[in-house]
Amino acid sequence: MNNKGTKLLEGPIWKGIVSFAIPLFLGNLFQQLYNTVDSLIVGNFLGSDALAAVSSSGSLIFLLVGFFNGIAMGAGVVISKYFGARDYENIKKAVHTDVAFGLAAGLLLMGIGMFLAPQILVWMGTPESVLPNSIVYFRTYFAGSLAFVMYNIVMGILQAVGDSRHPLYYLIFSSIVNVVLDLLFVGIFRLGVGSAALATVISQAASAVLCFVRLVQSKEVYQVKICDIRFYPGMLGQIIGIGLPSGLQNSIISLANIVVQSNINKFGVMAVAGCGVYSKIEGFAFLPITCFAMSLTTFIGQNLGARQYDRAKKGAVFGITCSVTLAELVGVIVFFAIPYFAAAFDGTEAVVAIATKQAHTEALFYCFLAFSHCIAGIMRGAGKSAVPMFVMLISWCIIRITYITVTVHFIPKIEVIFWAYPLTWSISSVIFLIYFLKANWLYNFERK
């Protein structure tokens, strides 16, 4: 094994985490461009109704994709620990089991997504004027499920061994493809919202193929050999054991967000479009949060595998500090610049007003979201993924749904829905903080 993947195990901690996080940040930035470009081009070329159709599918898409991505995250933790321990035989088994799982999950997700689309969108109360386009967008998107799942699988393998650069290169390429196809399909040929989803599928498939070829051609211990792709029973159990809580967490949170979306839908097409615009902007704002949380998962996993406990503790503190600080700075920017950002998607006054109102409610609370995500990332890296699952189940699902259901009944204003997010982010942060202080968990990695 060469030393390219050991930068998280050796040298200055801050340098290792930052050098790993920057490509992740840029990669997530281009990943975010997939859906954002769809919304940007659809909103400008096809109008507010078409934009609402795309926006109304977002929570539903993440509900199904998030579960399998959580399992893939568990595989990344297993691989990073074996990589840190230099256990070559188990690295090979984990990698090939992970690929086999991705192939099976992608095909399963394709069938589920395409079959359930109309029923769930109706259940969510999607406005009738946008329902047909929402169904078309959703079904086209999930026709390419295998590409989405496999990309996250192979990208997760590369990141688990410390390679965050090559996924970035492939994402840049596929993002360019996505923009070109979106402009061609929607802007020139005016093929409708389904073509925007098709452009995303094609570009995502391109990045998945490039990542997979990288693994196949690699000379490292994590090389993928087609003939070795299978489920290794013991390894599959480890991956499921760590990844299932993360997958359930993603799906449960998405389910809560679907309830939120169904309440937003009641306020009409402009509300759906405005909240959809804000969600795209918010996706960019969350990038510093997600990149540090992902970096911490890999950093903690590798260093615990190498039994470098003190290094793991110091890295955790550094990652949390950076993520929380950056998240708040970004929140301030979004708070003041939201009218200009929103107008780029849809200049309709009502749409901009809704997006601005939501940003002014939520943006200054990003620090709490960052803290919760970082603690969850640390725990996953240590193989304790059940703890963040239960914390987020309580705060981001049960409390969020209860609050919205009860409060909106008595105060039927959309601002009430917006406050659900900062409220539940704050609650999860308090729970995580109490857990850490009471259990002294951060300073007892070696016992975990």
Q: How many CA atoms lie within 13 A of 108 on its CB side?
A: 10
Read off the pLDDT band of 35 (50, 70, 90): low
Q: Which residues have CB under 8 Å from 325's CB, separation 6+?
A: none
Do residues 364 and 222 make contact, with C-beta atoms less than 8 angstroms apart? no
Q: Which residues have CB under 8 Å from 125's CB, separation 6+?
A: 262, 265, 266
Residue 37 corresponds to which tokens in the numbers above? 């470009």
| pLDDT single digits (tens) 218-274 | 988 899 999 999 999 889 888 888 888 878 877 777 778 778 888 888 898 889 888
Do residues 147 and 205 make contact, with C-beta atoms less than 8 angstroms apart? yes
pTM: 0.73
Q: How many CA atoms lie within 13 A of 384 on its CB side?
A: 18
User: Worst-scoring range by mean pLDDT, 29-33, 39-43, 157-161, 329-333?
Assistant: 29-33
Report how far residue 34's alpha carbon sits from residue 198's, in angstroms, rounded to the nearest whole number.
Answer: 11
Report how far residue 13's alpha carbon sits from residue 311's, in angstroms, rounded to the nearest whole number.
Answer: 7
Nearest alpha carbon to residue 200 among 38, 28, 24, 25: 38
Amino acid at 303: N
Mean residue pLDDT of the chain comes to 85
Report how far residue 22's alpha carbon sits from residue 344's, in angstroms, rounded to the nearest whole number.
Answer: 26
Res. 409: pLDDT tops 70: yes
User: Worst-scoring range by mean pLDDT, 22-36, 73-87, 243-257, 396-410?
Assistant: 22-36
Q: How many CA atoms lie within 13 A of 121 on its CB side?
A: 28
Res. 420: pLDDT tops 90: yes
Report how far residue 265's alpha carbon sits from residue 405's, in angstroms, rounded to the nearest whole number.
Answer: 14
Report how far residue 260's alpha carbon sits from residue 353's, in angstroms, rounded to the nearest whole number.
Answer: 19
Percent helix / strand / coil, the chain, rounded to 5: 85, 0, 15
User: Looking at residues 316-336, what average pLDDT do you find?
Assistant: 93
